[in-house]
Every structure is written in C-alpha cells, then in structure tokens.
A and B are shown apart, each in its own frame.
Chain A
C-alpha cells in the first residue's frame, strides 16, 4: 500500500462513517416498513392499502440498493464490473412485469370462463378445529372427521368436500 499513514487513517474514518450511516438507514427503513405494516392491519380502504404496499416496495428496493452499493461495496468498484452485474439484473424488470401480468390475466380468464373457480371465491368455510402436529399424516380422528363434514355440508350440500381450486 502506497498510502501514507495519515491517508490511511482518514480513509478508515471515512469507511467507518459510511458503515454507520448505512446501518442507520437500513434500520430506519425497516422500522418505517414495520410501522406501515402494523398500520395496514387496521385499514379497510383498498386504495390506501395499495399505496402503502407501494411505499413498502420502494423502501425494500432502497434497502437492497444500500446493501449492494455500500455493504457489498459495489459502488466503489470499477464501472465495467458494475455494469456486467447490473445490466443482466435489469432483466428482472421484464421478468416481474410479464409474469405478474400473466398471473392476473389468468385469474381474469378463469373468473370469466370457469364458474366453479369463481364460485369458490364466494363460499365461506369455517376454520378446521386445531389439528395437532401434521394431523394430515396421522390416522384421522373420528371427532374431527364429523365436525369437518358438518361444516362443509352446511355450506354446500351437493358436494361432500369443498376442495380449494388451484
């Protein structure tokens, strides 16, 4: 290292200040996210919930930026190295947009053309009695079984099982 002693010290101080700053930013962003998350529980307005979710996503991206840029030190690398990593990752823009669009389109198509799928989203069921420890794999309990059936037949007499539709 050709740095003089004082150079080294100044650089050290700068690096420590940066670590401190990023730590505080990450903690504050996480706390804001949690506050928004708690606030969201009591809300009913869909528009407001959507706006909060958007804010949370922006905070998430900001946190990701700070971790990659400062903790992983990418910001201090050579520009060419940064580009070989960031440019391929920009595929995610298409990746996320296309697949979420496809998902929501599939839901619309099924709601339009598959009456059973649409009906499933309107039938309320009751939560099954607390089953202990992967009860699914154990021998079925007779009490649970009867409870199970009475709940389901109450809502839909023609079908013995309300199987969720994938």
Chain B
C-alpha cells in the first residue's frame, strides 16, 4: 500500500478503524506536537520582547550594536554582514538535511551519510559564529544585566535589550546545539546500519523535523533582533 494516496474521496473512511487516520508514524506525529509546544515557548519569548519594546520609549539601534565581524580591523562598520552569513549557513544546512531525508526515503545510505555530515558541519559553523558574536558583545560590556549601548536617539538604554538578546539567542543556540548532537547520533546510527536493518530511515525524518524547526526559529529571531 502506497503511503501517498490518502486524499481520496472516501476520506471519511479514515476514521472507521483498521488504519492510521493521520497516515503517519507515531514518533513523527509526536515530534510535530513537541515542535508545536516549542513554538509556543519561543513565541512567548519573542512576544514578551515585543511587549517590552512597545512599552519603552527608546531602543538601541541594531545596526549600531551588531556591526562587527571576525578579523575585521578596529572601527569597521558593517551592519548585517555577519548575521547574514549565519543565516545562510543555517538555510544551507537545512537544505542538506532535506537532501538527507530524501536520500533516506530512497534507502540510499551513502546519500544520508554525506548529507548528514554537511548538516552537522553547518550546525557547528553556526554555533561557532554565535560563540564569536557573544564573545565580541561580552567584550564590549554587554551581558545579562549590562548594556553598554545607548538608545537610537541618544538617551540612556535599559538592560532589557541585552537581557532579551542573550536569553533568546541563547535558547535558540541551545536548540542548535541539541540538534547537532541529535544529528551526530543519527549519523552514527546510519553508519552502524541501524536503519538498513529496520528497513526505513524514519528516524532521519524526525531529526530532520527538529532541525528545520531550529532553522524556522532563526528566521524569526534574525528578523526580529537584527532587521526590525
């Protein structure tokens, strides 16, 4: 029985029993519900950031705060450059993850291994970029409870800006880190032929869902902190 012919006219019969109404594996459905709850967690963080920003008269200009980049000479002013590199790293690693899932569906072990390695490299590259940025901001005097930046209009700024920045990008970075760990475990399981023995690569799909979610959250974090 093919798994792609469910949108048939007798869809009502999905619920008479005898088959899975969602036509999806249990673990995958549960991964979706976990990601939904995680979306609410991130949503709560980002909305509280929005609420505080809306209730404050001034706010630092992100183009003034995030303007550096590694190995750049002192005093260089390059807003958005470094963060766009980070964004593209995450998008590309998301694409290689899709390719790994796709290879898994075709039972193509070599394809899964190759694309998982690229995905893991992308994740580590992103984490390195974030580590550099955090370190740089820390040395400018920014941390939880310390904000060296002024508001865009030159008035004194609160520490809300840095508190939200480090909390939310930190929480996202922690997700990236766990995603990399999960991907490494999946790579090891693939290399040990675990999925060949099971006859399917559904675990790669589930890890893929998590990894895409991490990319999805970054779309929001990147836009809200760096662009708006």
Cβ of A136 and Cβ of B143 under 8 Å apart? yes
Q: Give A162 to B26 CA distance when docked, in angstroms.
A: 57
Residue B39 at the chain A interface, CB threshold 8 Å: yes
Known interface pairs A2-B1, A60-B220, A67-B212. Does A131 touch B24 (Cβ–Cβ under 8 Å)? no
Cβ of B148 and Cβ of A3 under 8 Å apart? no
Cβ of B156 and Cβ of A96 under 8 Å apart? no
Cβ of B22 and Cβ of A67 under 8 Å apart? no
Known interface pairs A30-B91, A77-B22, A107-B56. Does A102 touch B51 (Cβ–Cβ under 8 Å)? yes
Known interface pairs A30-B91, A106-B55. Does A56 touch B227 (Cβ–Cβ under 8 Å)? yes
Residues of A within 8 A of B94 (CB): 67, 71
Residue B190 at the chain A interface, CB threshold 8 Å: no
- Shortest CB–CB separation between residue A84 and chain B, in angstroms? 8
- Shortest CB–CB separation between residue A75 and chain B, in angstroms? 11
Residue B9 at the chain A interface, CB threshold 8 Å: no
Residues of B within 8 A of A89 (CB): 36, 39
User: Interface residues of B, CB < 8 Å — how many?
Assistant: 74
Interface residues on A, range: 35 or more
Residues of A within 8 A of B146 (CB): 134, 136
Residue A1 at the chain B interface, CB threshold 8 Å: yes
Known interface pairs A71-B94, A127-B148. Does A103 touch B212 (Cβ–Cβ under 8 Å)? no
Residues of A within 8 A of B157 (CB): 164
